[in-house]
Amino acid sequence: MFLKPLFDLFFPQICFGCGNRISYKVPADFDNLRQQKLWEINRYLCPACLENLVVLSDDICPKCGNPLLASGCPHCTKTKFVFTAARSVFLFDERTQRLVHGLKYYSFLKIAPVLAAYASLYLENHWKWQKPDIIIPVPLHKVKFRERGFNQSAEIGRWLAEFSSIEYRDDIILRNRYTRTQTSLGRKERHKNVKNAFDISPKHSLKNKTVLLLDDVFTTGATCNSLARLLIDKKAQQVFVLTIARPS
């Protein structure tokens, strides 16, 4: 094809996971857009790194989705989660970390639909509950949004909504005032910070709705838990959390 060599010249294909050069053959045809996006992970990860991706479907905490340790779940012993359950598609290892960071910090927005396609597949194959009615992305701190220009969770959420035919809403959770970014805060402070930071738009009814909160990475779960509490207060029937990755 005429354009292909030019494309390679400008975007040499290097594996996000290990830095090796990637060579691949683009299939002639795809059945649908999701299938194409699932395949596109081959542009970012070499076959060896792809094979080592860990999907978190078994041996996880039934509540928060953390990989189970012999001592139980380190999160659920510390926090009383109010969401029905949280799940993550992948283990946050060096490969998935670099994919997520590529999207987040290097603005590789083309990674968003690829990650969303895998999230959609996860909903199809590993979701034990009813299909969510609405996908809501976890909002990004205003300062970070200004710096970054986009919210990575919204970018992924929009595509996930399309691939899984679920309503997408980013106008339901509102940030109601300036808050500190979470990074420098301890666990308790984080909870308080988040509780004060958000509001639910009065324009929407969540009655009898099953909500899926979408975020890129699950760390302590504090933000998602506080958001879930707000949504439940506004009569959401169930709130689930789905993230692309989480560390063990």
**How big is the site for Zn ion, counted in residues (CB under 5 A)?**
12
Segment 6 to 25, residues that bind Zn ion, using CB under 5 A = 15, 17-18
- The smaller minimum CB distance to Zn ion, of residues 66 and 179, is found at 66
Measured at the CA of 182, the angle between CA 178 and CA 184, to 5 degrees, comes to 115
Question: Residue 173: beta bridge partners?
Answer: 200
Contacting Zn ion (CB under 5 A), which of 41, 49, 140, 241? 49
* Whether the Cβ atoms of residue 24 and residue 56 lie closer than 8 Å to each other: no
CB 67, min distance to Zn ion, A? 10
Asked if residue 61 binds Zn ion (CB under 5 A), the reply is: yes
**243: nearest Cα among 223, 220, 225, 216:** 216
Asked if residue 194 binds Zn ion (CB under 5 A), the reply is: no
Asked if residue 76 binds Zn ion (CB under 5 A), the reply is: yes
Using the rule CB under 5 A, give the single segment among 33-41, 52-60, 70-78, 176-184 that binds Zn ion: 70-78
How far apart are the C-alpha atoms of 4 and 42, rounded to whole Å? 16
Q: Would you tell me how many other CB atoms lie within 10 Å of the CB of residue 122?
A: 21
Residues that bind Zn ion (CB under 5 A): 15, 17-18, 46, 49, 61, 63-64, 66, 73, 75-76
